[in-house]
């Protein structure tokens, strides 16, 4: 089982944003920006582009809802979307609040946020998602 499947099952804690029958969103533990979120399918598939069309399309629509909630919560110009997937073998979309192109650079230093701040960010995005 992948580490992300364990997160979905609640066996590993996360700062959850939202879920539906097929997808799950939670804060990246090493964020490039406040509100950096991962969206994953509940089925285990390593490579995003191996997902069937319906699942991939649904994942993009779910990501849109999450991105709009991030945009309402975090001050930014846009919410950027990227796919890397070299570290965790469970397909995931990164949603990152950005103000400039370089904010999407994974070579940038990651933020060190304390648990309380991560929980507060997640709570706010969760709220924006639900209304």
Interacting residues with ligand 5GP between 95 and 124 (CB under 6 A): none
Catalytic residue status for 94: no
Short-list 77, 116, 95, CA closest to 31 = 95
| Cα–Cα distance for residue pair 96/75, rounded to 1 Å | 11
For ligand 5GP, which is the closer residue by CB, 17 or 76? 17
Residue 90 · residue 8 · CB < 8 Å = no
Tell me: does residue 26 bind ligand 5GP (CB under 6 A).
yes
Q: Which residues pair with 38 in a beta bridge?
A: 26, 94
Binding-site member from 87, 101, 114, 116 for ligand 5GP (CB under 6 A) = 87
User: Token pair of 40, please?
Assistant: 């994953």
Q: How far is the CB of 15 from ligand 5GP (least distance, A)?
A: 7
Q: Give residues in contact with ligand 5GP (CB under 6 A).
A: 3, 12, 14, 26-30, 38, 84-88, 92
């Amino acid at each position: 089982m992948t580490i992300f499947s364990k997160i979905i099952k609640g066996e590993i804690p996360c700062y959850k944003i939202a879920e539906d029958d097929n997808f799950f969103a939670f804060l990246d533990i090493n964020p490039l920006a406040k509100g950096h979120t991962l969206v994953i399918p509940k089925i285990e598939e390593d490579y995003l582009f191996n997902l069937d069309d319906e699942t991939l399309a649904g994942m993009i629509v779910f990501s849109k809802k999450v991105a709009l909630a991030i945009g309402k919560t975090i001050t930014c110009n846009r919410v950027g979307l990227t796919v890397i997937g070299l570290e965790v073998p469970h397909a995931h979309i990164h949603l990152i609040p950005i103000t400039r192109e370089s904010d999407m650079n994974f070579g940038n230093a990651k933020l060190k946020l304390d648990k309380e701040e991560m929980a507060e960010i997640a709570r706010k995005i969760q709220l924006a998602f639900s209304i």
